[in-house]
Structure 1
Amino acid sequence: MTITVEPSSLSLNDVHRLLKLQKQANGLFTDYLTLEPLTEFEQQDLSRISNDFERYLAAGKISEGMVKFFTIAPLMRLAGFYDIPIRLTMEDVVGIAVEDEDKIIKGRMDILAVNQAEAITTPPFWVLVIETKNSAIDVFEGVPQLLTYAFKSLEEQSSVWGLVTNGLRYQFVYLKQSNPPIYQLMPSLSLNETQSSTVLLQVMKAICELPGFSL
């Protein structure tokens, strides 16, 4: 009998065991990305996004949906994710059969950005997988779920970026196909700190501009 497991129920140890995924030492963004300076317009718009979120956060907990609305949507637009050839999808179902066990891990990703530069590419290249949480949840609680969704892309491509956020804190993860597959946590970033938020947007822009390629 096959058992269906929700990604949200998995611990980090579960992810390591079920997916044979191994953690490497924490990495640096500049190991994989070229971070370009922001324009004055980008810096001003970034400040507005931060100020809008802080104003609502001061009034109380912000729901997962509102986190997407106030931070992820405007940040992705500013970073270029709304432009061709990137396409965004939401609530895509992901299913992963677990080797040597009668289990299927099945759930819905919050946001997926894919590169469709080559119309004939099937499946499209996954650029960024995003998992959002409400503002009261620590971002690290969402890492196992994010890793599970992002892991699916390694069936077709050599690496992928993931992001989990509660609106205020942003944790990027880099996954890479190897034997066994590996992942690295990147430096945690914050929307309400000027230097950190600048790096956040620089990273999102750099990921958006990565060329798509499969195995």
Structure 2
Amino acid sequence: MVQTAITQTIKTLNDVHNKFNLRRTEDEQFFTEWFENLPELTQQEQATLDQIRDRYRYHRADGVLAEGAVNLIVVSRLLELAGFYDFPFKLRSEVSVEITTVVDDEILRGRIDFLVVLEQFWVVVLEAKHSDLNIELAIPQALAYMMANRHPDQPVYGMVTNGGMFAFLKLSQQAFPEYDISDVFSLLPRRNQLYDVLQIFKRVAAVLQD
């Protein structure tokens, strides 16, 4: 059986669609968590998010930020604010995964940047890239990692970011593999859209604990 790195095989949405018989849903109610019933943020949370945005802009102004810098300046802080470092969640990093494609029985291997686990169930997959990468290129990879969920009866959420742009994903395999993608949030506008990002994280965390 052929074994290949996910990064070599999955480069486009058509790749992940064809390899896993995955499709994007047309159901507008499939992924409402990113825009409905979002929690209010405290003034302290907003101040912290302003600091994260300003710090990112300060370092990004000198040029491209490596993936490690994006994780330190932005991603790790967001995970902390969302409560993913604390009970009942467990955070794992650099998680090796293996998944067999549906179509050609090919084994794909990869490594998840950040994985949030709740009672041994995968709940959030995060894929972080260097600041110069278009996050659209990271979405197919993230979906492939999400397909490796060992409990396909449970939906999995994902986020892709390059530090300056963010998009959320939801994938379900309950009836057949399908997913949807949120709006893209950016640090370019004057209004700090990290507020939206944290609200979505906190909403997802609440849904997972219901």
- The question of a shared fold, defined as TM-score above 0.5 by the shorter chain, is answered with yes
Pair 1:172-2:168 in alignment: yes
After superposition, residues 21-170 of structure 1 pair within 5 angstroms as 21-25=22-26, 31-32=32-33, 34-116=37-119, 124-153=120-149, 155-170=151-166
Q: Distance in 2 between matches of 1:29 and 1:42?
A: 29
After superposition, residues 178-197 of structure 1 pair within 5 angstroms as 178-193=174-189, 194-197=191-194
Q: Distance in 2 between matches of 1:14 and 1:169?
A: 23
Residue of structure 2 in register with 1:209 after alignment: 206
Superposed displacement of residue 27, structure 1 = 5.2
SS at 2:70 equivalent: helix
Residue of structure 2 in register with 1:13 after alignment: 14
SS at 1:184 equivalent: strand
**Comparing 19-28 with 95-104, which one deviates more in the overlay?**
19-28
One-letter code of the match for 2:2?
I
Q: Distance in 1 between matches of 2:46 and 2:162?
A: 21
Superposed displacement of residue 212, structure 1 = 5.4
SS at 1:83 equivalent: coil
Cα-Cα RMSD: 2.1
One-letter code of the match for 2:158?
G
Q: Distance in 2 between matches of 1:205 and 1:142?
A: 23
Number of aligned residue pairs = 205
Gaps of 5+ in 2: none
Superposed displacement of residue 158, structure 1 = 2.5
One-letter code of the match for 2:165?
R
SS at 1:210 equivalent: helix
SS at 1:110 equivalent: strand
TM-score in terms of structure 1 length: 0.88
Q: Distance in 2 between matches of 1:166 and 1:155?
A: 28
Gaps of 5+ in 1: 117-123
Runs of 4+ that moved beyond 3 A:
25-30, 154-157
Per the alignment, do residues 31 and 182 of structure 1 end up closer, same or farther by CA in structure 2, a change over 3 Å counting?
A: same
Q: Distance in 1 between matches of 2:150 and 2:143?
A: 11
